Amino acid sequence: MLKIRGIPIKFHLAWYVAIVLISLSLASSFFPSRYPDISKGALWTMSIGTALFIYLSVLLHELAHAIVAQRAGMTVKKITMHFFGGLAEIDQEFKDYGTEFKVAMAGPLLSLALFIGLSLFYKSSVICLYLATINLILICFNMTPVFPLDGGRILRAILWRAYGDMLRATETAVVIAARLTYGIMALGLFLVIKQNYNWGIWLLILGFYLLTINRGIYKQVKGIDSLEGSIHDVMVPVEKVIMVLSTDLPLSDFYRQYCVIYGLPVYPVCVNNHNIAGYVAVDGKSIALGEGVKSAEGATIADVMISVPEEDSVTPHSKLREAFEKMFFTRKNYVFVCEGNRLCGILWRDAIVRSRAALDPVTGKIVDAVS
């Protein structure tokens, strides 16, 4: 697998489809109209090469985001190249508006540098002119204030600074984004009516994709705002958490007795009557470790467990809203419920979602606990 600065680069199947479609478009009209006497071999070499350079520009754009995020102490899980471009996946939400602003701006600034550099050669090279234009379009497109585009994140960072509340800023940014997305879809429909099918259909698909994402974010934020009740009402008590590990459990037994049977994303590790020592997170079939250590001969849970950070734990007396906020920021589906060093239980995102079906319509509090 391709890695840059330790970041895996993955290519979605749709990316290959995009390369084929762009190459066909360039070979069928763009280059023949400018080089009528070009040979077929040279035509296809230029077309495929230009298509690859387009996505190289996108990859560099995403790498700019990723590198700035890494310098801010965040973990970039991977960069995925897909039909619409690329996506740098960061393992958590931003902790402050300044970091989000810097990370969001890094991509457009890199694209701007590419645009300026390529523009210097536009008179001598049609390909440079074409790629410069693509990077300019990439800048304009990404600066549109719509989630999850860079412009949407920049807008949220600005609102976050103004409001002093990340969730309120997210809600406002998503509402603005939804309205702009309807505008994108309306423009796409207008172009289809005018028989400009290529751009029209593309804008309709893109608008639907962005609208779906923004609706999901909006529901999540509104769900946090409406939560009432105590964590104690919906957490799984430690007495019922049968997946608690001991530090001396061999990794081979962990795989066989826990991973295969339960298939959970996380397992707490306790010592001395439920005192939490850490946890083991599982990513697919591999243990996801802070240092990237792989299971070795004779290794035990103590060799691979991770300490529980503050953002992954709450107290039994905390409100559900606080727990769900932490899940929102860390992008995890759980938090550990601890009283000091003692593990009291685990709260899963699904339990919070189910609890919302049992809310009193007047008080908004839980009337039927889920355990």
Whether residue 366 lies inside any domain: the answer is no
Number of other residues whose CB lies within 10 A of the CB of residue 53: 16
Q: How far is CA 135 from CA 46, 55, 80, 129, in A?
A: 18, 10, 19, 10
Task: Give the integer Cα–Cα distance in Å for 35 and 126.
Answer: 10
Number of other residues whose CB lies within 10 A of the CB of residue 337: 24
Q: What percent of the chain has pLDDT over 70?
A: 88
Residue 258 sits in the same domain as residue 137? no
> What per-residue confidence (pLDDT) applies to 363?
38
Q: Where are the alpha helices (DSSP H) in the chain?
A: 13-25, 31-34, 40-71, 97-119, 126-142, 150-163, 166-193, 197-225, 251-254, 260-262, 301-304, 320-330, 349-355
Residue 215 sits in the same domain as residue 258? no
pLDDT band for position 64 (cuts 50, 70, 90): very high
Q: Where are the alpha helices (DSSP H) in 236-338?
A: 251-254, 260-262, 301-304, 320-330
pLDDT band for position 50 (cuts 50, 70, 90): very high
Whether residue 368 lies inside any domain: the answer is no
pLDDT band for position 367 (cuts 50, 70, 90): very low
Residue 216 sits in the same domain as residue 281? no
Instruction: Provide the token pair at 163.
Output: 């409001």
Residue 108 sits in the same domain as residue 243? no
Task: Give the integer Cα–Cα distance in Å for 206 and 54.
Answer: 18
End residue of a domain, out of 202, 225, 248: 225
Task: Give the integer Cα–Cα distance in Å for 224 and 322.
Answer: 9
Task: Characterise 265 by phi-psi region: left (phi > 0), alpha (psi -120 to 50), beta (else).
Answer: alpha
Q: How many domains does the chain have?
A: 2
CATH classification of the domain holding 293: 3.10.580.10
> What per-residue confidence (pLDDT) applies to 229?
67
How far from chain centre, in Å, is Cα 369? Answer: 32
In the predicted model, is pLDDT for residue 295 greater than 50? no
**Which amino acid would we find at residue 356?**
R
Question: For the whole prediction, is pTM greater than 0.75?
Answer: no
Residue 209 sits in the same domain as residue 244? no
Instruction: Provide the token pair at 226.
Output: 């409406």
Whether residue 365 lies inside any domain: the answer is no
pLDDT, mean of residues 320-347: 83
